[in-house]
Amino acid sequence: MSTLALGLAQLFDGLSAASILVLAALGLALSFGLMRIINMAHGELIMVGGYLMYVAQQHLPDRSVALGLVLAFTGSAVLGAMLELSLIRWLHGRPLDTLLATWGVSLMLQQAARELFDPTGVEVTAPAWLSGSLAFDSGPLAGLALAHVRLFIIALAIAVLCGMTLLFGRTRAGLHIRAVNQNRAMASALGVHSRRVDLLVFALGSGIAGLAGGALALIAPVTSTVGQSYIVDAFLVVILGGMGTLRGTAMAALLVGMLSALAETFMSISTAKVALLLFVVAFLQFRPRGLIVARSRALDEA
Amino acid sequence: MSGSIRSVALAAVLLAALPSLAHGDEVKVGVLHSLTGTMSISEITVKNATLLAIEEINATGGVLGKKLVPVVEDGASEPATFAQKAQKLVQEGGVATVFGGWTSASRKAMLPVFERLGSLLWYPVQFEGNECSPSIMYSGAQPNQQALPALEWAIKKGYKKIYLLGSDYVFPRTANLILKKHIAATAGTSLVGEEYMPLGGTSFGGILNKIKSSSPDVIINTLNGDSNVAFFKQFSAAGMTAAKLPVISFSIAEQETATIGPKLVAGHYAVWNYFQSLDTPGNKKFIAAYKAKYGVDAVMSDPMIHGYLDVYAWKAAVEKARSFEPKAVRKAAPGIELDTPLGKTRFDDNGSLYQKVLVGQAQPDAQFAIAWSTETAIKPEPYDPLSFPGKTCGAPK
């Protein structure tokens, strides 16, 4: 494998890692960034998406990925809405209580997955059109292989980002979400139904987590504990990006993905993780509010 | 002064505890596995196999005329819980012995409890060796009964450039430490890379690039749990195949293969002392009995067999010692010939099991075809002489 091919492979790997991070973190950017809810069950909502993808593959003809993703999104969104209505709404403004309660929810969802499905996890396979790779067998790029499934996840991440940007920038619901985020009391005074906005945001965030889970099931395991492997990185990306901004989340995901791909070339995975965390800590010393600072008119924020 | 009072008190407690090991027509035995949490995936099946053995023994008259009563506890995938439940089983439950444990962390947590209380643990999983407690019977493979024969077989097959990949915890680190010593000591064989993934890690892009650029002949894989699923999915997506680069795994059996996707694992190798396809009369009988009790879709695994044979080994030792007392049982256990699903085998004086080593090649139906087997059962060596020179097991006390 030539140096050029290896470099490109690492670059592609960084992009792929970034797209996975974007998908895993976007839902959290909504609930944590906009609503200040530390949702410890976010990883399990990703897991639910994976299981829904499995259910879709079992029951739908020709293992349709598109229908699986739709089911993963809707299923998780409905679950998120139920969670908001039954639990999170009642703990409004009590972040520590929400943290503990959602952690409890995460344990319940994990055990439920074990009870409902095989405790060893379930098998989700990429369909034929996603299981190959774009391989270069000769020339200067010999040895480079871009997996179709990774290309698909990159495309999906970009599509979701675009969709969210349109939703926030161009629709009435998006306007309301931004208004509540900037100043809840004022928005309510002007007639925005802030509780309904909370429900919408949380359901949407959960839906995106489910979508992420459905897509990631193609390259990652679907087991009861898989949510745990996404949650830390997702929080990292949201905090680094600056809470509540989509652009920040996307940029942070790209930064973290690229940096870890680069670091993994030179050092062991564990050391690369430590280096990355040190970088984020150092970065937040200089920009404590993240890459992109959301402007807010709320009085309680400096 | 207070020391002697304490020892008198301890002696009194022990004397009070002894007769309770077997009272009336029953004797209690502990079964301690994770029934909840991460490890429950693997450990519930071992618990099932252990209970099957207890049921079978009861159906044929029990042990020394006494019926076995299993006391099942949940280790909850937490080493501290294992230690606590082990103490509860022995002290409050009055069990004669305990069958259980899976992770090395859980075993290390239980070890001082069993040594302090003078009880006996039967541990059914392959492990990294470098430990030899008089209070534990180790029926799973020692490194010289899994890792080293695997390396030997790989070298014989002509694989010269070896890449070591594992999860970042004690078993892969110790197994690879031993493998590296032996790779370095074998002429013409070289180590081209070594990587560790944090437990549960699922992102293998960087590692796969490193593997490609170091072009090994074979990967020896000690990844555990979820990471294996991600690894094989991404390995295949990156355009790599078993024909070009075979992976020899130590922690993948029939069940894991089904979860990863049999098509993705087909052609790769696994090394164990047992595969479901093993053709022995004992194995056929075991599979039929297990499926009758737990359903026809049940899949067998190496640790299940060891959990199952441990109960029979304990029975044989109790009958030889004519006593349920743990020290007498430990002393009697070595050397008794056992007829198990693995075939005929026996425990060594050091408390570990003689067993054959099998290399299986994964098939598209998630079963393994046995590709190679050692001719005879290998004597277990808890301390690899090349890696831990001078360390030996003491004689059983």
Q: Which residues of chain B make contact with A220, given a CB cutoff of 8 A?
A: 202, 226, 229-230, 233
Q: Which amino acid is at A192?
A: V
Question: A246 in a domain, yes or no?
Answer: no
Tell me what the mean pLDDT of segment A269-282 comes to: 89
pLDDT > 90 fraction of chain A, expressed in percent and rounded: 47
- Say what the pLDDT of residue B4 is: 55
In the numeric block, the tokens 């009336």 are attached to: B24
- Whether A294 has a pLDDT exceeding 90, the answer reads no
CB atoms within 10 A of CB B5: 9
For B209, the closest of A9, A150, A270 (CB atoms) is: A9
Chain center to CA of A280: 18
CB contact under 8 A, A121 and B230: no
* Contact of B169 with B126, CB cutoff 8 Å: no
For B144-277+359-373, CATH number out of 3.20.20.70, 3.40.50.2300, 2.60.40.420, 3.50.40.10 equals: 3.40.50.2300
**pLDDT band, very low/low/confident/very high, at B18 (cuts 50, 70, 90):** very low
* Contact of B63 with B315, CB cutoff 8 Å: yes
Query: d(Cα B115, Cα A99) in Å, to the nearest integer?
Result: 41
State residue B72 phi and psi, 5-degree precision.
Answer: -95, 130
- Tokens representing residue B164 in the block: 């070591």
- Say what the pLDDT of residue A36 is: 81
Q: Tell me the shortest Cα–Cα distance from B266 to chain A, in angstroms.
A: 14
DSSP string for A108-139: HHHHHHHHHS-TT-B-----HHHHSEEE--SS
Please determine whether the domains at B2-142+280-355 and B144-277+359-373 fall in the same fold group of CATH: yes
Query: d(Cα A124, Cα A49) in Å, to the nearest integer?
Result: 12
CB contact under 8 A, A121 and B200: no
Of the listed ranges A41-55, A108-122, B72-86, the least confidently predicted one is A108-122
Enumerate the domain spans of chain B.
2-142+280-355, 144-277+359-373
- Whether A81 has a pLDDT exceeding 50, the answer reads yes
- Whether A165 has a pLDDT exceeding 70, the answer reads yes
Protein fold of B2-142+280-355: Rossmann fold (3.40.50)
SS3 assignment, position A146 = strand
**Three-state SS annotation for chain B:** CHHHHHHHHHHHHHHHHHHHHEECCEEEEEEEECCCCCCHHHHHHHHHHHHHHHHHHHHCCCECCEEEEEEEEECCCCHHHHHHHHHHHHHHCCCCCEEECCCHHHHHHHHHHHHHHCCCEEECCCCCCCCCCCCEEECCCCHHHCHHHHHHHHHHCCCCEEEEEEECCHHHHHHHHHHHHHHHCCCCCEEEEEEEECCCCCCCHHHHHHHHHHCCCEEEEECCCHHHHHHHHHHHHCCCCCCCCCEEECCCCHHHHHHHCHHHHCCCEEEECCCCCCCCHHHHHHHHHHHHHHCCCCCCCHHHHHHHHHHHHHHHHHHHHCCCCHHHHHHHCCCCCEEECCEEECECCCCEECECCEEEEECCCCCEEEEEECCCCECCCCCCCCCCCCCCCCCCC
ipTM of the predicted structure? 0.77
* Contact of B25 with B282, CB cutoff 8 Å: no
**Which is it for strands B98-100 and B67-74: parallel, antiparallel or unpaired?**
unpaired
CB contact under 8 A, A147 and B233: no
Tell me what the mean pLDDT of segment B60-89 comes to: 94
* Helix A194-216 / helix A3-28 crossing angle, nearest 10 deg: 150
Q: Tell me the shortest Cα–Cα distance from B292 to chain A, in angstroms.
A: 19
In the numeric block, the tokens 């209380």 are attached to: B117
pLDDT > 90 fraction of chain B, expressed in percent and rounded: 74
CB atoms within 10 A of CB A165: 14
Tell me what the mean pLDDT of segment B69-73 comes to: 96
For A229, the closest of B40, B202, B233 (CB atoms) is: B202
pLDDT > 70 fraction of chain A, expressed in percent and rounded: 95
- Say what the pLDDT of residue B396 is: 46
- Say what the pLDDT of residue A295 is: 65
**pLDDT band, very low/low/confident/very high, at A297 (cuts 50, 70, 90):** low
**Average model confidence (pLDDT) for chain A?**
88
For A220, the closest of B42, B210, B230 (CB atoms) is: B230
CB contact under 8 A, A16 and B258: no
Q: Which residues of chain B make contact with A13, given a CB cutoff of 8 A?
A: 205-206, 209
- Say what the pLDDT of residue B17 is: 47
CB pairs A-B closer than 8 Å: 125
Per the model's pLDDT, the better-predicted residue between B3 and B98 turns out to be B98
pLDDT per residue as tens digits for the range B125-166:
999 898 999 999 999 999 999 999 999 999 999 999 999 999
- Write out the residue range of the structural domain in which residue A85 sits: 3-229
**pLDDT band, very low/low/confident/very high, at B326 (cuts 50, 70, 90):** very high
- Tokens representing residue B14 in the block: 């022990």
CB atoms within 10 A of CB B283: 20
- Say what the pLDDT of residue B198 is: 86
CB contact under 8 A, A219 and B41: no
Q: For chain A, what is the total number of helices (H) and then of strands (E)?
A: 13, 2
- Tokens representing residue B237 in the block: 């997506």
- Say what the pLDDT of residue A261 is: 86
Tell me what the mean pLDDT of segment B287-312 comes to: 94
Of the listed ranges A116-125, A274-283, B93-102, B318-327, the least confidently predicted one is A116-125
Of the listed ranges A84-88, A178-182, B85-89, the least confidently predicted one is A178-182
- Say what the pLDDT of residue A77 is: 96
Domain count, chain A: 1
**pLDDT band, very low/low/confident/very high, at A269 (cuts 50, 70, 90):** confident
Question: A107 in a domain, yes or no?
Answer: yes
Among A225, A258, A273, A276, pick the best mutation site for testing chain B contact (most B Cβ within 10 A): A225
Of the listed ranges A25-29, A277-281, B58-62, B386-390, the least confidently predicted one is B386-390
CB contact under 8 A, A123 and B261: yes
Query: d(Cα B369, Cα B133) in Å, to the nearest integer?
Result: 35
Q: Which amino acid is at B377?
A: A
Query: d(Cα B207, Cα B195) in Å, to the nearest integer?
Result: 7
The pTM score is: 0.81
**pLDDT band, very low/low/confident/very high, at A302 (cuts 50, 70, 90):** very low
* Contact of B153 with B218, CB cutoff 8 Å: no
Query: d(Cα B203, Cα B200) in Å, to the nearest integer?
Result: 10
* Contact of A231 with A103, CB cutoff 8 Å: no
Tell me what the mean pLDDT of segment A62-69 comes to: 84
**Average model confidence (pLDDT) for chain B?**
90
Q: Which amino acid is at A42?
A: H
- Say what the pLDDT of residue A300 is: 52
- Tokens representing residue B278 in the block: 């093993």
The CA-to-CA distance between both ends of chain B, in Å, stands at: 28
User: What's the angle, vertex CA B163, arms to CA B158 and CA B165, rounded to 5?
Assistant: 135
* β-sheet bridge partners, residue B369: B361
Query: d(Cα B163, Cα B393) in Å, to the nearest integer?
Result: 31
Query: d(Cα B396, Cα B177) in Å, to the nearest integer?
Result: 28
- Say what the pLDDT of residue B255 is: 84
Q: Which residues of chain B make contact with A122, given a CB cutoff of 8 A?
A: 259
- Tokens representing residue A230 in the block: 């996404």
- Whether B124 has a pLDDT exceeding 90, the answer reads yes
Tell me what the mean pLDDT of segment B358-375 comes to: 94
Question: A38 in a domain, yes or no?
Answer: yes
In the numeric block, the tokens 């030539």 are attached to: A2
- Whether A201 has a pLDDT exceeding 80, the answer reads yes
- Whether B16 has a pLDDT exceeding 70, the answer reads no
What is the Cβ-side half-sphere exposure of residue A167, based on CA atoms within 13 angstroms? 14
pLDDT per residue as tens digits for the range A118-159:
777 888 888 888 888 888 877 777 778 888 999 999 999 999
Residues of B within an 8 Å Cβ radius of A = 36, 38, 40-42, 44, 168, 195-198, 200-203, 205-207, 209-210, 212-213, 215, 225-230, 233-234, 236-239, 255-256, 258-261, 263-264
